[in-house]
Structure 1
């Protein structure tokens, strides 16, 4: 099974509501995304050097699939349905996202 990593840089539109944003992201959005077939793990980080790269937050999603195009299409379809269902936050701004294929792995 091929392994992939989806990296998503995000911002919160209202710094005064950042706690609400993080609550939604951690308790609603991550579980919703992980229901997408192939998505196996999600981790979030906060940027400690915002001048280095845009986006205060980073979400990293581990994916296992032989058909990344289909998996990402399924994710886009799910996200559209979640927006329609009101499970998306108006506080989210996606700065960038990119998919990477694993080429090597080591553990220490």
Structure 2
């Protein structure tokens, strides 16, 4: 089964991007990597509908999703973002995970 991914997209003010990158790499990313279940992180510049920041985080397995989101480490990582919110015009957090069979549901062709 494929591993789930957490995708964070943001539109950061260009005037603070250099400082934001330093903060992300030096403070936020180390905090994110302490979240239970997060195994790897990827970052890229993005030009999708005004979004200029994208980060992907690979989780260990499906069971890691809830654990990761409710952990104290995740709360600390979310608090890290607060200082940047005045410089963010768009922020989305998405989870991509494989769907499993739905018990009790049958499809007849």
Structure 1 length as normaliser, TM-score? 0.70
Distance in 2 (CA, whole Å) between partners of 1:64 and 1:96 is 21
Kept in 1: contact 2:31–2:76 (CA 8 A): no
Quote the offset at 1:89 in angstroms.
5.7
Quote the offset at 1:55 in angstroms.
1.8
Q: Deviations over 1:64-97 (max 9, x none)?
A: 03422222222xx4343352xxx44622536111
Residue 37 of structure 2 aligns with which residue? Answer: 38
Q: Which runs of 5+ in 1 are unaligned?
A: 104-108
Distance in 2 (CA, whole Å) between partners of 1:41 and 1:54 is 26
Distance in 2 (CA, whole Å) between partners of 1:81 and 1:30 is 11
Query: SS at 1:3's partner residue?
Result: coil
Task: Output the aligned Cα RMSD.
Answer: 2.5
Distance in 2 (CA, whole Å) between partners of 1:18 and 1:101 is 30
Which aligned runs of 4 or more in structure 1 are off by greater than 6 angstroms? none
Kept in 1: contact 2:2–2:97 (CA 8 A): yes
Q: Deviations over 1:28-85 (max 9, x none)?
A: 11111010111011111101xx3x43421100001103422222222xx4343352xx
Equivalences, count: 94
Change (3 A) 1:16 1:27: same
Distance in 1 (CA, whole Å) between partners of 2:81 and 2:91 is 16
By percentage of residues, which structure has more strand?
Answer: 1
